Every structure is written in C-alpha cells, then in structure tokens.
Structure 1
Amino acid sequence: MSSIDVVIPNYNYGRFLRDCVRSVQAQAVENLRILIIDNASSDDSVEIARSLAAEDPRIEIIARKVNKGLHASFNEGIDWASAEYLTILHADDLLAAGALKRTMDCLGRYPGVAMTCGRTVRHGEEIRDARLGSDWRIETGESFISQRCRTAHNTVACCGVVVRTSAQKIAGHYDERLSFAPDLEMWLRLARLGDVARTSATQGFVRVHADNASAYTRERLAPELEAVELSFETFFGKENAKGRDVSHLRTQVQRSIAERAYWAALAHLVRGSFTGGWELARLALRRRARMILMPPVGYILRRQDGVRRIGQVVLEAKKRRFGAQWQRAGNRTS
C-alpha cells in the first residue's frame, strides 16, 4: 500500500498550525506521517505542535533552538522523508479534502510522473465550481519547463504539489542562494526527472495575510520578478554544468520577464499603485525598450489566465473610479 510523508515547516504560525495539521489528518490516507519543523518560533507554536503530537502518533516534531531559515526546514524534511510520496505544506496553508488520495492514486497509475500539481485558491474564497474531481493531464517535463519559461510565471503553489520521493532525493535540496520563493527552481529540477501531472481539482488553500510574501508582492512585484529571474538563472546554471544547451530557454525567460513586467506595470498604474507601477515599467523597458512603441500582446495570449487577468484589472479600475465618484458626491451632499 502506498505511503506519504507531509513536512510542515513553521515559524510563528501557531495561530494557523492546528488548522493546517487537521487538514492533513482529515485526508483519507492510511500510511501517513507528519513532521512539524519549528524554526525557533517565539509564539506558542511548539506547545501547539506538542499537543497535536500527543494526540496522534503519526506526528513527529523537530523544535529548533535557533532559526536556521526556511531552506533548512525544507531540506531537513527531504532528508527525513522515506515514504513513496512527499509534500511540503506551509503551516499557514491547508490541504483540500481528498487532495492526497487523488494525488497518490495518480502517482500509482503513472509511474513516469515525478511531480503532481493541482489548483489552489485563497483561503476563505468560495470554490464556485466545486472542482473536486480527479481529472489528470500528463505533460512531459520538457513541456512544463517550456511553459514556465514562456510566461516567467510560477503558478504552482507548494500546497498543491506532491512529488515522488525518489525523484526528490535525486533532485536534492532547495538552493539556499534563492532567498525568495525557491520553489520555482525546484519544480524545474523535478520536471527534468519525469512527467508532470496536473489536475483542475482544488488541492490546497493559500492564506494571504500580513506576514507572508503574497501580501507584499501585490504592491511591490518588481523584486519578485527579479527573484523569479534569479531562480531561472540558477536552474540554467545547473543545466549548463551538465552540458545542456539552454540558451533558447534563457532568451525566452528574459523576454517573458520584460513582457510580464510591462503588463503588471499597467495593472498597477490602473489600480492607483503608482510606486509599484513605475518600478515595474522601468524594469520592463530596461530589458526591452521597444515595448514602449509595440505592446507585447503575445504574452497575454501565452498565459492561460491572460484574458481573465485583464478583465480583473478593468473591473478593479471601474470600481475604483466609480467609488471615488460616489465618495465625492457624498462629500458634496454632507
């Protein structure tokens, strides 16, 4: 019978930890282990973790006295894992009902798959289309890598990913040089080792709050894009060291970074985020100056969510405009 290990890195997320672990315990999986790695939290995280472990023998705890950083937690979890499959779940996120069983069934059916990923939504958002099925689309690792390069956009969240542990051991540790969102570079490495299975089923819930990166990058996306570029360059460096020619992929990423920055700049400016908008515009035009005369429409078509994102920005702009008009009208009548 197949087995899975779940690693939960935690730092000062005691207020979320219990819900995170409960979402794992609720999975319809028998051979399951959970490792909570606390990175010297100053809140009540360790007490909560110990309480959870006392209730469930499947839970193990590593409670550090010194904060070694997120990479150390990821990598210690990789070294600890011994089950057939592995997932790393941030302590502020949640697994969707049935997520692990869906994935384990898929990995059992398709031995050539190294990594699976599914849809994730923000915690608290309604799943309007109730995507709880088990449809899977298998794509080659090369196709997965190519698509990431064509958009320079990491749409794969940790809480939606399960990997074959044997592939993870070969891929190795997360690269400590990547201080921001090191997962993209890891997905690229895993895709070199086998196929990637994708499902439209909701696999996880991502919390967005004041203490995580998502809250910051909405207003300051330029540093994130530079970090994404560094992730690709780190991957390309390892590929070159293995004798692989990735010059065409590097060219595609450089173009995609510029084009993504262009459209993100417009979106920020429309929303009224002028500091972030001009920062993105400078980033885009430094890399591809001709876009000032020729907008990169092709980038929107390459992104699966491109049209939807434009619609969202237009809707936000309308709300902002009419909201300001209503506020001025209210001030005149008060």
Structure 2
Amino acid sequence: MISFSVLIANYNNGKYFKECYNSLMDQTYGNWEVVIIDDASTDDSVEIIQSLIKDNPRFKLYHNSTNQGCGFTKRECIKYAEGEICAFLDPDDALYPQALELTALEFYHRNDIVATYSQMMLCNEYLNPDKIYPGTKQIYNNQFFFNCPIQFAHFFAFKKEVYWKTSGINPKLKNAVDQDLYLKILEHGDIRYIKEPLYLYRLHSNGISQHNAKQSAKESFARVIHEAMKRRGLRKINNKNVPEKFTDSKEIYELLNYQTHKLHRLINKIKVSLNI
C-alpha cells in the first residue's frame, strides 16, 4: 500500500480541530500518518490537539518556538513526512472518508503522474456542506499554465520524491503558499483530476485566505506567478514581454488576461479531451 502523509499547519484553530481529527479517523484507507506543526498558537490549540491525538502513533505533533507564518510552517511539515504521498489539510477543514483511498488509487494506477487534485465542498462555519466550489476544472498542464484564474485547489496530493526536485515551499510566503507549491510540482509531470469532492472547506471570518487577507493574497499570487515565469524561462507571453523584475500585481495579471477568454478555454478543453 502506498504510504500517505497528511500535513497540518496549525495556528489558532484549536476550536475547529476535532472535526478535522474525526475526518482523519474515519478514513477508509489504512496506510497514513499525520504531521502537525503548531505555529506558536495563542489559543488552546496545543491542549486540544494533544487531548485528541493522545498516544496515537499515527499523529506527530511539533511546535514552532515563535510564530513563523504559513510558508515556513508548511515547509517544516514536509521535513517530518515519511509517506510517499503528501497532502495538506487545514486544521479548520476536513476530508471525506474516501479521500485518501481514492487519491492513493490514482497514484497506484497512474505511476506517471506527480500529483492529484479533486473538487472541494464549500461549507458554512459549522462545516455543513453548501455547494461544490465551481472554479475547479480539468486543466491542461503546460509551461503557460499558472492556475490563474484558479482552476484547482484542495484536495491536492503530490509525490514527496518530486517535491525534493523543486526548491520547495518558500518559507517567506504568508499567502499563496499552496499556489506556489502547485506550480513547482506541476513543472515535473502531469496531474490527475478526481472529479468528486474529497475536501470540506470551511468558510469563516478567521480563515487565512478569506476576508481582509484577500488583497494581500492576490499580491502574493502575482509574485508566485512571476517567479514561475522566470523559472520556466519565459520571456514573452501572448506576444507581451515578461518583466525582468516584479513591480506590481496588475502587470502580471494583465499578461494573463487572454487566459480568461472563452476561446482560450475552449482550446484547452479540446486539448485535454484529445490528450494532446
């Protein structure tokens, strides 16, 4: 059986962790571990997590001595992971019972892929399902794919051996950490789309990617995209020059405006269906 590492970076989400924990214990797949790093929470997160995981050897809990932020903490999670496949789960979210099993099966049947992603279910603050996130699509992965507009998110799982071929998660990032990871992993192979929701995403006022953090996340995402362009050696996109240095997010997003057009999306959809 393929070994799975579920990675959790926690900061002040103790009150939500029980549902996250229960969803892991309800998994239909057996060969998994959980790596949790608490980023110097100021609430009772550590006490709550410890009371739930107790002496369960599947769970490993570590601590940052000071608050380091999302990028640093997620990067640290992977250092402790022992599984062949890794995936991040936010402590305020949860997984469907078959999430790990269906993901592992994709890697088992398709040795050529480097990652998988699925649909995700948007939920209210109490984790009651509302609707499937509509932005998730089957993607056409090439050097001009930047996941902008957003076409995939959770549940993203990737081969750990492939991760170590990249520069890894940028520890300085506070936002767009996942997007940075997606783009780096997809530069090393193809991805498989699981067209059903495996992830329960909780919408609440304290979410790191929600509310007041949106503008900051947009700026960070633009920087991540620019870094991907430079990493891939792209000098022009749609006959427009890629800037040597990042100046502002508007300049980057203007380069990608053509990717929102219906014709471009139709062409990519045809390429995906024909497996070009």
User: What is the TM-score of this pair, normalised by structure 2?
Assistant: 0.79
Runs of at least 5 residues in structure 2 that lack an aligned partner in the other structure: 133-137, 244-248, 267-276
1:195 and 1:37 mapped to 2: Cα distance?
29
Alignment of 1:232-251 (within 5 A): 232-239=225-232, 244-248=233-237, 251=240
Report the equivalent of 1:215: 210
Deviation at 1:29, TM superposition (A): 1.6
Distance 2:205 2:24 in 1: 24
- 1:125 and 1:178 map into 2 onto residues whose CA distance is 30
- The alpha carbon displacement at 1:86 in A equals 0.6
- Within a 5 Å distance, the mapping from 1:1-334 to structure 2 comes to 1-54=1-54, 56-123=56-123, 124-126=128-130, 141-142=141-142, 145-148=143-146, 152-157=148-153, 159-216=154-211, 222-239=215-232, 244-248=233-237, 251=240, 299-301=260-262, 302=264
- Tell me how far 1:37 sits from its aligned partner: 0.7
Please give the per-residue CA displacement for 1:1-33, whole angstroms capped at 9, x wherever unaligned: 211011111000001111112212211121111
Which of structures 1 and 2 has the bigger CA Rg?
1
The match for 2:273 is: none
Shift of 1:222: 5.0
Deviates more, 1:168-177 or 1:182-191: 168-177
What one-letter code is carried by the residue in structure 2 that aligns with 1:174? I
Partner Cα separation in structure 1 for residue 224 and residue 203 of structure 2: 23
Q: RMSD in angstroms over aligned alpha carbons?
A: 3.1
- Displacement after TM superposition at 1:206 (Å): 1.2
- Is the CA contact (8 Å cut-off) linking 1:78 and 1:168 kept in structure 2? no
Contact 2:141 2:186 in 1 (8 A): yes
- Offset at 1:52? 2.0
Find the residue that maps to 1:146 and give its secondary structure: coil
Other-structure match for 1:331: none
Deviation at 1:58, TM superposition (A): 0.7
Shift of residue 251 of structure 1?
A: 4.3
Give 1 or 2: higher helix fraction: 1
**How far has the Cα of 1:155 moved from its partner?**
3.2
CA distance in 2, matches of 1:80, 1:221: 30
Deviation for aligned residue 1:78: 1.2
Stretch of structure 1 that moved more, 65-74 or 107-116: 65-74
Identity of aligned residues (%): 22
| 1:161-198 superposed Cα distances (whole Å, 9 cap, x missing partner) | 11111111222421134332222122111111111101
The answer to whether the 8 A contact 1:9-1:36 is kept is yes
Consecutive unaligned residues in structure 1, runs of 5 or more? 129-136, 255-279, 289-295, 305-334
- Could you tell me which residue of structure 1 aligns to residue 135 of structure 2? none
CA contact (8 A) 1:10 1:36 kept: yes
Amino acid at match of 1:44: D
8 Å CA contact 1:140–1:194 kept in 2: the answer is no
Q: Distance in 1 between matches of 2:210 and 2:234?
A: 37
The higher-RCO structure (CA 8 Å, 6+ apart) is: 2
Question: Does the 8 Å contact 1:140/1:196 carry over to 2?
Answer: no
Contact 1:180 1:227 in 2 (8 A): yes
Q: For 2:140 and 2:42, how far apart are their aligned partners in 1?
A: 44
